[in-house]
Structure 1
């Protein structure tokens, strides 16, 4: 291991020295003999252009490799008590496709549980004798059908204009729209039930729409606007999800205030005619008649009585008010501090199915690898002409600038904890300048016909089978004639640098020269893809790269920090050298989204909350109410960020979507209570009591519990991403919305609530009535 740079058996297939850390793992320091793992890498050619079938061939090769590794190599390794883990560039994409079906049953069960709860909560208090008439299974089913139609309408519209759907869209949006749609269904049906029974069903539905229609419209438009704001997020997954969700929620709202209202009328007519739910053709006769219908009044439910007679009076106690405000304010302040601990990223292990073969691969990479991904510093438009000083601005050998690119990279590698650069860069330019140097005997030689002559230990100078190496054979002239021993003498070079013509002529020789014991500086293999030769004859190399390695990157934060450090370093060196230099590593394209994800998330959340408040102001025409709603929404989002920090939930495309979505969903917990408060009569305490009595029960049973029963099922998901980003975040959102909507908001309204709109209307109506009297 100490002589790995020269030992023949430690060289790669193209005879170049092999870096031990790229092939061995599990050792400490430079103790390579302690290695407990080894790595094999098969590079597969990829192309930028889509023409031809090169990409398809690479993907087909990877697919065949994975099949071979699963079916043959893995059993072979296990039979020898070895651990084998493997991956290809397309593995994550393929495993995500498999994941799309892994939780299909869980999601369907969640939908069924929500549907069952809808059917129960829409109906009256269950009684065995009347359950088959008073239940609302058919009404709930039609409501679910309307939700599915709205989702299909959204998917169909965007598919028609060429916007492709994603995994999140197909699995999450139906759940989201169902959760939002169920709220409106419950509120509408409960409002109809609160109307006097002496009114015809059409009158009851009309009064119900007058009572809850504005708050439903306000909540739905706020949700649509919150999602529409998300369509401006630069991350494609967030943008596409927000577009689909905004249209789906809008279509669902339009269907609910039209088709579902008509279905409510039909269902109540069915129940009053004592026809069986789901089988309306069957009519049940009853000895009791409805002759006293005009005198009957529907008694409020147990939950409504609790809200009005227990919950509201407790919140009305001044000591309780002070404690509630203090606790919620403290939680918000603590959440602001905790939010700074939320890290950007998305662990691959969370996204993948738990039984994926990549789970073991990522675990072993984190545990055994002692070096990170390759890092390339790409230099554009390098001028190698004699008149330019850019060669000395890049190289790191003698007579190069002290602040050259390669010297700066070497300095950065001395502080790997902040730069995330493991070692100095492998430089084709340094090796080329050494290769053409007169001191490098046996490297740059030529035949008598001025063509390249390889070292004596390589064909055709040396045949590996015959052992005829040395002064004889085809390369005799290169070895014995002084003029051809070397390409240049010191007098031929200018300060040991080749001229423009010499550089242009000898660079292709260098890139095709195989390294060997006689000349280890050959560039073939190590630098074959490092220089773009197209158009280099003009004295400018359009693009070239210098390869180094990142330090081991085990956490998502390491990937993000390494990308940020590489970009900051490139920007600084580019300004210093006045050259265009940028870094590249294979993971940069994916992790680039996390550089500004905090800024993106905060801007979109601020816009969403502001837009929702603007909608509230336009519909209610009350800046007072809009300000209170905006305050509560901001507190819910901040507290949700605090929960993310406690649960170690990272900030990524999925969680940003959830945060933007939380603004729309949190509106449900605030708007209905606030609207009921503004249209009630009396002082603030009385209006809070009335608002909780009328809408509190609907918010709890129709919004909180509906979402809760659907979310709890997701904890049984086979995929960690559903457990973390949908079960945990949705559960936290529902609980925070419930606490803020039914505890904190009533207290705030009882102290700082806006005046009743009924009083304002009465005053406006009284003035003209007085002036019109004769």
Structure 2
């Protein structure tokens, strides 16, 4: 013999016995762990608590990584918030918003904490897959922060705080609402799946995203207005003290490095009052004009064709199923156990339990013959060892009494059966029968089980086939209410459910996303292209995840559902910016859409990738799968949002199809008359010094020139 399998059956009922059995399993594990290495025998083991224990290890290992993820996001957000004085490398401590960026990340953490508390209060069960939810929500929750901060920067600094906040929310409201609705709805759709683990994850995530949005509209929005007020007064973004204006060349180096801050130009329409960060300037003045060139459009079309071909190839090789070994940490003691099962025992001899829940009256000889025939049928399938692999108390009893020359009569059957089953306290058949009492006091078997040997179930496809074969045989005996079971059935059922559930959830999610797009984007043709983009992104996620070694299972299913929401996020932002542009020229529309929203979209995507990057080296397939699928969903979504979709819109959605949008979104800016009529001077200047201060500001080497050109978007 190359290997042998020892099975120890433990009692888990009632509750006190359950606890004792659990303690025995843990003690047994510790004893085997302490067993010295043997040069001749390799020992592998597994018990009923192994999978829960290993999943808990996965979850526990994520706590320090979430702290790292939080710090990475804070650092990235702070870095993105830094603005420099025009014409220098000095930080503009008035326009920079590091504390506001940190508050944006904390805002997402507040949403996560509130959702976790609410789910626990409502009695929603927790599973260990939920442990990866904070990584996702804390990243997605910062997307709206970038959109809101970018919207504030597009308003004129010469306007009042109230007007700036009004313009900011008018500009960012639809984009923020699209992000929140699409993400929340995509996970809401995930709750209709029949896989409980996916349901629970989607409930927690949907609630966390919703709570984060509520905090963004209240807590974070209030902080934005507060920091905008400090900006109006020329105060330092960290210390809230008055800053040194750029005109003061006599300031010390320390003051210029740590305290320099720009001031608003008194003319509301002046270009210096709408500060573009370097990323937005790149998209507006470099990337967008290059993207609309005919040669680049053709190249983008070729790239898209290659992308679709590779995605289809990946989808044609799609693999299904989450194997038990993939739920374990790479250094788990149970991995050798599964490898040995796969190598030896799943090829021949794996036990299958067959339970007859509604036992017939075994005093009837015809019923006994039918039970014997049924047992033979189960033992004769493609994946059965044969009659020699059957382990049945019923057949052993007949063999025992025949050996001793005892005839089993109809009236004496149950008495003889009880004597055989309970012949000793250690009888292996006690656990195979359930006894009841008839009204006349006769004890009878109400249900029983027998075991057959299986063969050739080493692959997931063979396991699925075996499940169907044995359940089909069981369906031939409806009166017996037969249940077939082995531990692998828990996974083969998942294999069968993943594809139909994924298709169902994606179709429903896409329908919801389409409805949201048609309601919030005031142009049907653009909404159609958003829908096209959703389908294209999902195709890419499915194809590329297969090429990256990821199966279609419950973990990747979560991310596919999520990718529907993400694909709408990135696409709808650009489509909305394209629609609300006041220009009739598609090239100008693309320039304005990418200039206003391209950089915030990139920031949102990068923040998500950075947040989950700490999961890349976790020694667990489940966590790495989550990392891979999130990275694919975000990367492919960004590729469509900033490359393919702008090209499609500029070609197929021309000026004749666009609804005039003079009063939509951020282009319906407040007219210049809303600005304060008095010149804005440094707060510490007296009114008499205003003109001199204005002249000094205009001639400062660190300030924008008064001759700088600007686009007048007022109408």
TM over 0.5: yes
Equivalent residue, structure 1, for 2:670 = none
For 2:591, the equivalent position in structure 1 comes to 689
Q: Where does structure 2 lack aligned partners over 5 or more consecutive residues? A: 249-261, 665-715
Q: How does 1:126-275 map to 2 (within 5 A)?
A: 129-130=90-91, 132-169=93-130, 171-275=131-235
Q: Which residue does the alignment assign to 1:55?
A: 18
Cα gap change, 1:726/1:422 in structure 2, threshold over 3 Å: closer, same or farther?
Answer: farther
Higher mean C-alpha deviation, range 532-541 or range 335-344:
532-541
Q: How does 1:518-597 map to 2 (within 5 A)?
A: 525-535=427-437, 541-551=445-455, 553-571=457-475, 573-574=476-477, 579-597=480-498
CA contact (8 A) 1:313 1:689 kept: yes
Structure 1 residues 94 and 543: CA distance shift in structure 2, 3 A: same
* Higher CA-based Rg: 1
Q: Which residue of 2 aligns with 1:480?
A: none
Q: What TM-score do you get using the length of structure 1 for normalisation? A: 0.76
Matches of 1:760 and 1:196 in 2, distance apart? 18
Residue of structure 1 equivalent to 2:645: 745
**Corresponding residue of 1:616:** 517
Q: CA deviation at 1:330?
A: 5.4
2:583 matches 1:664: no
Cα distance change, pair 201–420 in 1 and its aligned pair in 2 (3 A): farther
The answer to whether the aligner puts 1:506 opposite 2:426 as a matched pair is: no
Relative to structure 1, the CA distance from residue 291 to residue 652 in structure 2 (aligned partners, 3 Å threshold; closer, same or farther) is closer
Q: Give secondary structure in 1 for the equivalent of 2:45.
A: coil
Distance 2:562 2:264 in 1: 50
1:110 maps to 2:69: yes
Please give the alpha-carbon distance, in whole angstroms, between the structure 2 residues aligned to 1:260 and 1:761.
26
Q: Is the 8 A contact 1:696 1:742 kept in 2?
A: yes
**C-alpha spacing 1:365/1:240, structure 2 compared with 1 (3 Å):** same
Residues 613 and 165 of structure 1, relative CA distance in 2, 3 Å threshold: same
Contact 2:365 2:410 in 1 (8 A): no
Shift of 1:113: 0.9
1:250 to 1:167, Cα distance in 2 relative to 1, 3 A: same
Taking the aligned partners of 1:344 and 1:532, their CA distance within structure 2 comes to 38
Q: How do 1:689-708 residues align onto structure 2 when only pairs under 5 Å count?
A: 689-700=591-602, 702-708=603-609
Q: Select between 375-384 and 676-685 the one with higher mean Cα deviation.
A: 375-384
Aligned length: 640
Confirm or deny that 1:354 pairs with 2:330.
yes
Look up the match of 1:431.
396
Q: Matched residues in 1 for 2:415 and 2:4: separation?
A: 40
Report the CA distance shift for 1:694/1:128 in structure 2 as closer, same or farther (over 3 A): closer
Distance in 2 (CA, whole Å) between partners of 1:749 and 1:114 is 32
Once the two structures are TM-superposed, the CA of residue 327 in structure 1 deviates from its matched residue by: 4.3
Query: What's the offset of the Cα at 1:533?
Result: 2.8
Contact 1:312–1:689, Cα closer than 8 Å, also in 2: yes
SS in 1 for 2:448: strand
Q: 1:422–1:550: 8 Å Cα contact kept in structure 2?
A: no
1:307 aligns with 2:307: no
| Correspondence for 1:409 | 378
Instruction: Return 270-279 or 654-663, whichever deviates more.
Output: 270-279
Q: How far apart, CA to CA, are the structure 2 residues paired with 1:299 and 1:100?
A: 44
Match of 2:355 in 1: 378
Deviation at 1:569, TM superposition (A): 3.0
Q: 1:566 to 1:278 in 2, by over 3 A?
A: farther
Pair 1:722 & 2:623 matched = yes
Deviation at 1:538, TM superposition (A): 6.6
Which residue of structure 2 lines up, in the alignment, with residue 766 of structure 1? none
Q: Is the Cα contact below 8 Å between 2:354 and 2:485 reproduced in 1? A: yes
Higher deviation after alignment, 174-183 or 354-363: 354-363
Q: Report which stretch shifted further, 107-116 or 709-718.
A: 709-718
Counterpart in the other structure of 1:495: none
CA distance in 1, matches of 2:81, 2:222: 16
| 1:533 partner SS | strand
Query: Cα distance 1:748–1:434, how it changes in 2: closer, same or farther (>3 A)?
Result: same
Q: Counterpart of 1:45 in 2: which secondary structure? A: coil
Partner of 1:494: none
Q: How far apart, CA to CA, are the structure 1 residues paired with 2:558 and 2:455?
A: 32
Distance 1:524 1:147 in 2: 58
- Shift in Å at residue 617 of structure 1? 1.8
- Give runs of aligned pairs for residues 605-684 of structure 1, distance below 5 A: 605-620=506-521, 622-681=523-582, 682-684=584-586
